[in-house]
Chains A and B, each alone.
Chain A
Amino acid sequence: MSKGIIFAIEEFAVHDGPGIRKLVFFKGCPLRCSWCHNPEGLSFKKELMVSEASCSHCEKCREVCFHEECQGFGRCVKVCSQRLPRIVGQQYEASELAKILLKGKEVLTGSGGGITISGGEPLAQPIFLFDLISHLKPVHIAIETSGFAKKEIFQRMVSEIDLVLMDVKHTDPKIHKKFTGVDNDQILENLQFLSMSETPFIIRIPLIPGVNDTLMNMGKTAVLLKDSRNLLRVELLPYHQTAPAKYEMLSKQFTPGFDTEKMVNFHTEVFKKYNIKVCVL
């Protein structure tokens, strides 16, 4: 019995593992990637999120209310006719969450699909994660992770999961630290374990213009991966301009620290050189 916090469940996620999948997003992440698309996944706490775009400024949500769930957020999330203010972050028991995710299981398994656990960083809620996994089995489980976790946790995850989708954001420790807020030594050590494991995996590289899309970084990444036993492919996810959208909704500032207008370089050839399959999402 363990509790965790998530911020969304998506049905029919088509880019996150084989077949028809439900995708659950764990809330909370130890990294602070400056390009992050899901800022509501950063904090481990519930947050207020407001889609201001179609707001008519009736100000009703600023009036005092006594709803339990609104307390402490300074806005009422019940009164808006469009429900624009909402609280992101729901706490669940692992078994309870598994039950929700497994509703319609036959659609998922019938198509060779299953559940994908994403985030935030799923490995940052390890007890909840392993509890959830135990409730989801034997359905196919995939995970999307930054790889930033203690090696015991990471290795246990690799042994229990059917498919790992892991990010490699940068091979250079300094640049990694500058743009993600954490060192990459733990990540690279975990990557090495993964690449020698029996578990199939996919490497994802968010292509950030001028940050990691250099020939040198791509080349180094390819070298790290070249002897992997179960690498299915490398997926390149070019940065796109929609990233800042959610920051405003959370009253946060988007400070990318790189030139968002710049074109990204793909350098797919360096992966092909080592016979690594590569595709762009």
Chain B
Amino acid sequence: MNERIKILLCNVLQKKHHLFRQNINIDELSEFTLNMKEQKLSDVQRAKKRLSWVLTNEIPVILPHERIVFTKTISKIPEIFTEGEWSNIKNEHYIHEMGRVCNISSNFSYTIEVGLEYRKTEVLKAIEFHSAKKNKKGVEFLLSILQSIEDVETLSDRYAQKALEIGREDIYFMLKKVPRKGAKTFHEALQFFRILHFTLWASGNYHNTVGRFDQYMLQYLEKDLDLGILKYDSALELLEEFFLSFNKDSDLYPGMQQGDNGQSMVLGGVDENGYDGFNLLSELCLKASLELKLIDPKINLRVNKDTAIEKYDLGTELTKVGLGFPQYSNDDVVIPGLLSKGYSLEDSRNYVVAACWEFIIPGYGMDIPNITALSFTKVINTSIIKHLENSKDFSSFMAKVRWEISEELSSITTSLNNIYMEPAPFQSLLMNDCIEKAQDISLGNRYNNYGIHGTGISTAVDSLAAVKKYIFDEQSIGAQELIAAVDRNFEGYRDLWLKLKYDAPKMGNDDEIADNIAIELLDIFAELTAGLVNEKGGCYRPGSGSAMYYLLHVRDIGASADGRKKGEPISANFSPGLNVKLNGPVSIIRSFSKPDMKKIMNGGPLTLELHDTVFRNPDSLRKVSSLVKSYMDMGGQQLQINAVNREQLIEAKKHPEDHKNLIVRVWGWSGYFVELDEMYQDHIIQRIELNV
């Protein structure tokens, strides 16, 4: 890291750019919304107008030493509907999260390559075509895009003007090229990306992922290196400044917690022809992240059976610094999974990771991979109460479990009807086919599938394993006794509780009983989702992620048959239960690679926590890499490792002021520990206690 980057990094960490943020008057925002209502503007026009408002009110800020510009000064954006209107919409429609397009992957590369002027000619051509066909709505949508493009250009001109005023001709000349014209150099491409990404945030879209950055940006880097415009060091410097830009405004982005902002970047993996795409830029990105030690962009590494151990080593180096990433995804499992759900081969090979871990397709995917969640713990609890006494053996009990899962799936999916999402004209510009079809991305695209998280998988498996062993195999516990004990939160059932908690088979310990149940349970999940179709004609994608549901779902359920008491968290993502005494990492990766994860294709990682002392010498770094590679070679789908130190976290909770930069992995993302709510902090500490 050179001196200039050190200064810029210091500025970001000290939040110096926050000084430029404008005080936004809430009344002014409400008035803006009310005005739009009174003018009886359509939703598309409102979305366009909101973006215009934001971009027009932005004040150009060029900080000293910056070479990639655009900093947010508007900290709050107006709604497009009044409260009254929105509650009417909510009554009639299913609303996902904030009701905005989010968590998809843009095709940045095309626009960066051809420039906005050229994109305008495409839009004009489409307007001509759709006017002739009297597609009024389509034309209105296209005109909105046109306006948005012009708004971006105007702001860019104002930045150029500002640059001139303060004597930064370099920036002035840069902005005279991009975004109107396509990028020619790596620097131009990065600046262009920053403008597009900035505009997505400004338009209210969120979890704006970065996609396969090392694939679509490589051409610019290679050309600059060939021509001698850049050398390795100057390329790294630019890239580091670019990485910093993701951390400037991230506190303003919507998310469940600070840090949950979806700025995930995917590196490596096979190209459209199936050849390994890991390249110089992939390596540079890993290096930039390693040097900066910031939570954004969040690094994802795609691997496959041909990925050399040295590439895993680069990932391990990054894990070592304690950022909670990279997250690894296995092409050999993910791609067949996508294919099985009807994704084309080319698109499948091009998969990226959404905000957390879900596999989505850049440009073409309008999937909602986190639309709902199946609480496995709840289903198993219900099954035990309703069916355990009447089941003659374990397999007939599992048949009942299957039936309950099917019931629960239909219950959680039937509510997903008549979905409404605010239009997103600018986002549509960055998705394939939307211009030609004159259709907003909020209405769908090539892929319109819904993902169902499967939460508490290990808790459910452990509960079933206890049932199998004690109720049916050993017959040492009676069905009634178990039901009563769980119902009373084990009050008065101390011996039974301890037996379930400590002596029963558990997933993660390479135990045949537990692991075979996991295989069966996940196969059932896959089979039962296979028949479901959503209202857009898309399919449902079963997954093993839990997101925040590992804490939320706990509120609806009591104790469980694995000895977990009421209120204690269920297992997070695809990881062992929190009350399990684990044998160690070898058993864990064995257990979690046994189910056929090609079928559980929505994504959701196994999380391994390793003590930070493991990472102290190069020899043991290689061992961590080997562990990751083993998991992938055995058919693991997704993995993420934390280098943790429990004492440090406890200390940070006590003295947050001394640990402002301590980074931890929360569920699908990394955040600053001291900025998390206490319930998440405690969960992370508990997770570590048993895992290392």
Asked if B650 is an interface residue, CB under 8 A from chain A, the answer is no
> Distance in Å from the Cβ of B502 to the closest Cβ of chain A?
6
> Distance in Å from the Cβ of B441 to the closest Cβ of chain A?
44
24 contacts between A and B (CB under 8 A): A10-B584, A11-B583, A11-B585, A11-B586, A11-B587, A12-B586, A12-B610, A14-B614, A14-B623, A18-B619, A19-B623, A19-B626, A20-B630, A78-B498, A79-B494, A81-B494, A81-B498, A83-B502, A103-B590, A107-B627, A110-B630, A110-B633, A111-B623, A111-B627
Once the chains bind, are B620 and A104 in contact (CB under 8 Å)? Answer: no
Q: In the complex, A10→B627 CA distance in Å?
A: 15
Complex interface bits, A47-87 against B, C-beta within 8 A gives 1, otherwise 0: 00000000000000000000000000000001101010000
Asked if A22 is an interface residue, CB under 8 A from chain B, the answer is yes
> Distance in Å from the Cβ of A232 to the closest Cβ of chain B?
12
Once the chains bind, are B633 and A12 in contact (CB under 8 Å)? Answer: no
Once the chains bind, are B586 and A108 in contact (CB under 8 Å)? Answer: yes
**Chain B residues, CB < 8 A from A108:** 586
Asked if A262 is an interface residue, CB under 8 A from chain B, the answer is no
Once the chains bind, are B590 and A20 in contact (CB under 8 Å)? Answer: no
Once the chains bind, are B623 and A106 in contact (CB under 8 Å)? Answer: no
Asked if B241 is an interface residue, CB under 8 A from chain A, the answer is no
Asked if A127 is an interface residue, CB under 8 A from chain B, the answer is no
**Chain A residues, CB < 8 A from B619:** 14, 18
**Chain A residues, CB < 8 A from B498:** 78-79, 81, 83
**Chain A residues, CB < 8 A from B614:** 12, 14
Most chain A Cβ neighbours within 10 Å, of B586, B614, B626: B586
> Distance in Å from the Cβ of A245 to the closest Cβ of chain B?
14
Asked if A9 is an interface residue, CB under 8 A from chain B, the answer is yes
Asked if B589 is an interface residue, CB under 8 A from chain A, the answer is yes
**Chain A residues, CB < 8 A from B626:** 19-20, 110-113
Complex interface bits, B620-644 against A, C-beta within 8 A gives 1, otherwise 0: 1001001101100110000000000
Once the chains bind, are A12 and B584 in contact (CB under 8 Å)? Answer: yes
Q: In the complex, A104→B511 CA distance in Å?
A: 11
Once the chains bind, are B630 and A103 in contact (CB under 8 Å)? Answer: no
**Chain A residues, CB < 8 A from B627:** 12, 20, 107, 111
> Distance in Å from the Cβ of A118 to the closest Cβ of chain B?
15
Q: In the complex, A18→B622 CA distance in Å?
A: 10
Would you list which residues of chain A between 82 and 114 have a CB under 8 Å from chain B? 83, 103-104, 106-108, 110-113
Once the chains bind, are B630 and A22 in contact (CB under 8 Å)? Answer: no
> Distance in Å from the Cβ of A237 to the closest Cβ of chain B?
13
**Chain A residues, CB < 8 A from B495:** 78-79
Q: Identify the closest chain B residue to A281 (Cβ).
A: B617
Indicate which residue in A20, A78, A83 contacts B586 across the interface (CB closer than 8 Å): A20
Q: In the complex, A113→B630 CA distance in Å?
A: 12
Once the chains bind, are A14 and B634 in contact (CB under 8 Å)? Answer: no
> Distance in Å from the Cβ of A112 to the closest Cβ of chain B?
8
Q: In the complex, A111→B634 CA distance in Å?
A: 13
**Chain B residues, CB < 8 A from A14:** 614, 619-620, 623
Asked if B510 is an interface residue, CB under 8 A from chain A, the answer is yes
Q: In the complex, A106→B630 CA distance in Å?
A: 8
Q: In the complex, A15→B627 CA distance in Å?
A: 15
Indicate which residue in B494, B584, B630 contacts A111 across the interface (CB closer than 8 Å): B630
Number of interface residues of A (CB under 8 A): 23
**Chain A residues, CB < 8 A from B589:** 104, 107
Q: In the complex, A112→B633 CA distance in Å?
A: 15
Complex interface bits, A203-238 against B, C-beta within 8 A gives 1, otherwise 0: 000000000000000000000000000000000000
**Chain A residues, CB < 8 A from B634:** 106-107
> Distance in Å from the Cβ of A220 to the closest Cβ of chain B?
28
Indicate which residue in B502, B510, B633 contacts A104 across the interface (CB closer than 8 Å): B510
Q: In the complex, A106→B586 CA distance in Å?
A: 10
Once the chains bind, are B583 and A9 in contact (CB under 8 Å)? Answer: yes
Complex interface bits, B6-28 against A, C-beta within 8 A gives 1, otherwise 0: 00000000000000000000000
Q: Identify the closest chain B residue to A110 (Cβ).
A: B630
Once the chains bind, are B510 and A103 in contact (CB under 8 Å)? Answer: yes
> Distance in Å from the Cβ of B316 to the closest Cβ of chain A?
12
Q: In the complex, A111→B586 CA distance in Å?
A: 12
Q: 10 smallest A-B Cβ distances: which pairs?
A: A11-B584, A111-B626, A14-B620, A11-B586, A107-B630, A12-B585, A104-B586, A104-B590, A107-B586, A14-B623
> Distance in Å from the Cβ of A25 to the closest Cβ of chain B?
13
Indicate which residue in A19, A83, A103, A110 contacts B587 across the interface (CB closer than 8 Å): A103
Most chain B Cβ neighbours within 10 Å, of A10, A22, A103, A108: A103
Q: Identify the closest chain B residue to A11 (Cβ).
A: B584
Q: In the complex, A108→B627 CA distance in Å?
A: 9
Most chain B Cβ neighbours within 10 Å, of A11, A12, A83, A104: A12
Complex interface bits, B649-676 against A, C-beta within 8 A gives 1, otherwise 0: 0000000000000000000000000000
Would you list which residues of chain B between 580 and 626 have a CB under 8 Å from chain A? 583-587, 589-590, 610, 614, 619-620, 623, 626
Q: In the complex, A65→B576 CA distance in Å?
A: 32
Q: In the complex, A104→B585 CA distance in Å?
A: 10
Would you list which residues of chain B between 482 and 536 have a CB under 8 Å from chain A? 494-495, 498, 502, 510
**Chain B residues, CB < 8 A from A81:** 494, 498
> Distance in Å from the Cβ of A262 to the closest Cβ of chain B?
23
**Chain B residues, CB < 8 A from A22:** 584, 586
Would you list which residues of chain B between 341 and 378 have a CB under 8 Å from chain A? none
Most chain B Cβ neighbours within 10 Å, of A11, A15, A22: A11
> Distance in Å from the Cβ of A206 to the closest Cβ of chain B?
18
Q: Identify the closest chain B residue to A9 (Cβ).
A: B583
Q: Identify the closest chain B residue to A60 (Cβ).
A: B494
**Known contacts being A14-B614, A83-B502, is A104 close to B587, with CB within 8 Å?**
yes
Complex interface bits, A1-30 against B, C-beta within 8 A gives 1, otherwise 0: 000000001111011001110100000000
Most chain A Cβ neighbours within 10 Å, of B510, B584, B589, B629: B584
Q: In the complex, A103→B510 CA distance in Å?
A: 8
- List 17 other contacts, CB 8 Å, given A103-B590, A108-B586: A10-B584, A12-B585, A12-B614, A18-B619, A20-B623, A20-B626, A79-B495, A79-B498, A81-B494, A103-B510, A104-B510, A104-B589, A107-B590, A107-B634, A110-B633, A111-B629, A113-B626
**Chain B residues, CB < 8 A from A103:** 510, 587, 590
Q: Identify the closest chain B residue to A108 (Cβ).
A: B586
> Distance in Å from the Cβ of B682 to the closest Cβ of chain A?
16
Q: Identify the closest chain B residue to A107 (Cβ).
A: B630
Q: In the complex, A78→B494 CA distance in Å?
A: 10
Q: Identify the closest chain B residue to A10 (Cβ).
A: B584
Q: Identify the closest chain B residue to A15 (Cβ).
A: B620
Would you list which residues of chain A between 17 and 47 have a CB under 8 Å from chain B? 18-20, 22
> Distance in Å from the Cβ of B288 to the closest Cβ of chain A?
28
> Distance in Å from the Cβ of B109 to the closest Cβ of chain A?
37
Q: Identify the closest chain A residue to B614 (Cβ).
A: A14
Q: In the complex, A14→B614 CA distance in Å?
A: 7
Q: In the complex, A107→B495 CA distance in Å?
A: 37
> Distance in Å from the Cβ of A10 to the closest Cβ of chain B?
7
**Chain A residues, CB < 8 A from B587:** 11, 103-104
Q: In the complex, A218→B498 CA distance in Å?
A: 51
Q: In the complex, A268→B252 CA distance in Å?
A: 54
> Distance in Å from the Cβ of B588 to the closest Cβ of chain A?
8
Q: In the complex, A9→B586 CA distance in Å?
A: 12
Q: In the complex, A110→B625 CA distance in Å?
A: 12
Q: In the complex, A103→B584 CA distance in Å?
A: 12
Q: In the complex, A112→B625 CA distance in Å?
A: 12
**Chain B residues, CB < 8 A from A107:** 586, 589-590, 627, 630, 634
**Chain A residues, CB < 8 A from B586:** 11-12, 20, 22, 104, 107-108
**Chain B residues, CB < 8 A from A110:** 626, 629-630, 633
Q: In the complex, A9→B581 CA distance in Å?
A: 13
> Distance in Å from the Cβ of B688 to the closest Cβ of chain A?
15
**Chain B residues, CB < 8 A from A11:** 583-587
**Chain B residues, CB < 8 A from A12:** 584-586, 610, 614, 623, 627
Q: In the complex, A111→B624 CA distance in Å?
A: 10
Q: Identify the closest chain B residue to A280 (Cβ).
A: B617
Q: Identify the closest chain B residue to A18 (Cβ).
A: B619
